[in-house]
Structure 1
């Protein structure tokens, strides 16, 4: 049986993957949001396909979401997915008017990301037991997360050919398969070298995983979940009472650079942000420091 919503969502998936080159996680999220709308329409307006859905019906769908106990962030994300779906239909010439254009998402306040102080970063790194078999790997991973501000997907996907130790740079493959060059600190390179010489070179590596830098005990590329678990254990070991994830290291990397006077455009390039607006969130993190400078040094304080 032909299902217009399923067919359009499959085409949407293909468009996001081939023409937009989005990551699998982003594609899955967009298609999941479109599927929610499709399920709603098939339940309440059977026979009305995506090309015939009206503004009123889309608003009704958003209204049903608003009655559920979901966060404003989740609601905003679903609406963003629906808008992307209808932009795709417009792009393909399948509709002449975009019924999702005027859908209103809840206004989200900018949440400042959690960060670790330089002292807390050191605590976590120094607390990793180097006597354990995977201690060298874990130290190298966390040094790299903080040294270069990598996303967790970039970390686990890093290959030997992407490290240029002689010039101190990594070639990182980020969101949408976009490449960028990122400087890497001497400490991170040192611990990567130790990990390779002391552990990785003596492992039996699974077929197809030979190029990946960070491997699990079975010689396979690490998973995202494993990295989260490693960080959780490292933080608990030193008694830091914060909810720390791989992204916390990325946030801390950016924050410490900005606080040290780094140029915002340079930080944007290193983080791989498409828009500088995304990077600008880090300029808000050192307001207390700026206020203190004003108090201490301004002639008319």
Structure 2
């Protein structure tokens, strides 16, 4: 499919002709790479000109089955549309397989969350005797314990761990840095993984500082985290459609329900606007309404 050659041209097109920022360009390239990962997962290597609308629909179903949010799917579709439009301009392809593809309709709704028993079940389902077991336990603890976005987790570095004061430094959207407290359990599992498991890995050059590595000695991809969550949910019999973001939602929801200050939660989540964080107060209101319905004699 000559992915590398055409993605280089696409990158130059985005930078020079569309004048996009480095972060935006990286996001577009990441969207295109997800399609490559999909074809790899089904052991297919079609020519770019042979990709059909049916292939794109199957790819979108694959994203959905991974547990990706509709907003993420919409962004990926937008990125693919830009890529195939570029290929049309360059006369690499004759037909655009994304031309009739519509992004999923975005409905603002309260996010799904897990209770603490469900989170514990996910962690307990991990086989710690396997080489990646301790790593996976640490991943779940950090996602839930710190409320990280999946991209923030994959980019988390050893140099940004401050165990003495129990904080981690995270690089969020727009390269904004923030400090987040990390609980004792998560910190302990991360330390065990780094000092007892990761220390034996053959790490590829350039990946030495990333905390969570795959078997090849490179940092984990977003897709691998989605697959991990999906596998754990299936193994525990969890019926909810969850993703890594579900643990972030659960982190925020449990803090708000426990009485945490909204501004503090906003800071830890890295939301630029308090209105984004306020969705979790709606969850809290639903919880309070359930309490009234269940326990009040005149409800």
TM-score over 0.5 (shorter chain): yes
5+ residue gaps, structure 1, are 1-5, 42-64, 74-107
Task: Give the secondary-structure state (helix, strand or coil) at the position aligned to 2:179.
Answer: strand
Would the alpha carbon gap of residues 72 and 40 (structure 1) be closer, same or farther in structure 2, given more than 3 Å must change? farther
Whether 2:75 is the aligned partner of 1:70: answer: no
5 Å matches for 1:232-243?
A: 232-243=230-241
Q: Corresponding residue for 1:255?
A: 253
TM-aligned CA deviation for residue 183 of structure 1: 0.9
Q: C-alpha separation between the residues in 1 aligned to 2:281 and 2:117?
A: 20
Whether 2:205 is the aligned partner of 1:207: answer: yes
Q: C-alpha separation between the residues in 2 aligned to 1:274 and 1:225?
A: 26
TM-aligned CA deviation for residue 131 of structure 1: 1.0
Q: Corresponding residue for 1:97?
A: none
Q: Corresponding residue for 2:288?
A: 290
Q: C-alpha separation between the residues in 1 aligned to 2:13 and 2:193?
A: 48
TM-score of the two chains, using structure 2 as the length reference = 0.69
Would the alpha carbon gap of residues 234 and 38 (structure 1) be closer, same or farther in structure 2, given more than 3 Å must change? closer
Q: 1:116 aligns with which of 114, 117, 121?
A: 114
Aligned residues: 235
Q: C-alpha separation between the residues in 2 aligned to 1:174 and 1:210?
A: 20
Q: Is the 8 A contact 1:133 1:199 kept in 2?
A: yes
Q: Is the 8 A contact 2:169 2:179 kept in 1?
A: yes
Would the alpha carbon gap of residues 23 and 234 (structure 1) be closer, same or farther in structure 2, given more than 3 Å must change? farther
Q: Corresponding residue for 2:26?
A: 24
Q: Is the 8 A contact 1:23 1:175 kept in 2?
A: no
5+ residue gaps, structure 2, are 1-10, 32-74, 90-98
Q: Corresponding residue for 1:245?
A: 243
Q: Is the 8 A contact 1:264 1:279 kept in 2?
A: yes
Would the alpha carbon gap of residues 23 and 189 (structure 1) be closer, same or farther in structure 2, given more than 3 Å must change? farther
Q: Who wins on radius of gyration, i.e. which is larger?
A: 1
Q: C-alpha separation between the residues in 1 aligned to 2:246 and 2:25?
A: 21
CA RMSD across the alignment: 3.1
Q: C-alpha separation between the residues in 1 aligned to 2:206 and 2:87?
A: 39
5 Å matches for 1:188-203?
A: 188-203=186-201
Q: C-alpha separation between the residues in 2 aligned to 1:40 and 1:202?
A: 47
Q: Corresponding residue for 2:7?
A: none
Deviations 1:53-85 (A, max 9, x none): xxxxxxxxxxxx9xx563563xxxxxxxxxxxx
Task: Give the secondary-structure state (helix, strand or coil) at the position aligned to 2:178.
Answer: strand
Q: Corresponding residue for 2:275?
A: 277
